Structure 1
Amino acid sequence: MTDKSEIAGRLAALSDPELAGVVLVATAERPGFAMVRAALLGLVESGDAGAAVDVSPDTSGVPTAGPTAAPDRSGQVARMSGEPAGPVPPSGVPTSTSSGGYSSSGVPTFESVRDKVEQRFGTAQGMDELDRQTPAGRGVDEQWQAREKAARERLDRIRKSLRGNDLETREP
């Protein structure tokens, strides 16, 4: 079964719940497909894809990989610990039925955008800190400080010369 068209044909013949089950099993333990798995779990939980059928092969002694998300989790990829996958909103706050950081209409959620911004900001701060620890980075910092000091001194001289001109014009 190495022919791609044969595989595609067999997948197309599956019902939605069966296809959801196949994709859930195929994406288990694959970090690169975490977003696909999270989106599919969101569809299954919302009932849009129907109930996922367990398509795991019946082999004894081998643990089967099936849906691992617990209902008390936040719609992100499930973890093995009992900790919630993300912040749990307080009761009484309406929650959106989003999955993988996107709403059902494909719009990124506020939380996913905020998380991306915070991650990029943290990365930038870390890179800046690492840059300052290198000899080249320290040299750039020293040059910046020398320029700042020279600029302040020049500004002070200009201010003093202007004050001196003001005194000369008032005396006559």
Structure 2
Amino acid sequence: MTDNSEIAGRLAALPDPELAGVLLVVTAERPGFAMVHAALLGLVESGDVRAAPDVSPDTSSGPTAGRMSAPERSGQVGGISGAPAGPVPPSNVPTPTSSGGYSSAGVPTFESVRDKVEQRFGTAQGMDELDRQTPAGRGVDEQWQAREKAARERLDRIRKSLRGNDIETHEP
């Protein structure tokens, strides 16, 4: 393969119709560039750019490689739909640059961090439920409840004793 700057220079020197034709051929049958291909088809259908008919790939990678899809027919006058054949992304929405939960800079995305936290929280809740179903877990719960009950009783006795002392000191 040649140097990328050489390819970029050659592409930049092409007139718009030829560049559109090259890009249509190159992006066909490539799922990662489906939106680019759809946008190019939209330009061709709108008449802003005409595809160059003499552009074809040097090598074919399959039986359908190099074929341009025909524009969709409609019942409109002229027979060609004014809408592009595929989805065209809005121009003001940034494209996601993350893959696998990380941005291109290697920083975890908010969604991936949230998913990890939710997964760990769910695992902790499940472990707690499983622990309570075992004899040892039930024993710990029973001990906790017994201590809570004893603490409440002790606190009630302390409060009663304090109220008894307050009544005795205020009587004449």
Task: State TM-score, norm by structure 1.
Answer: 0.45
Greater CA radius of gyration, 1 or 2? 2
Greater relative CO (CA pairs within 8 A, separation 6+): 2
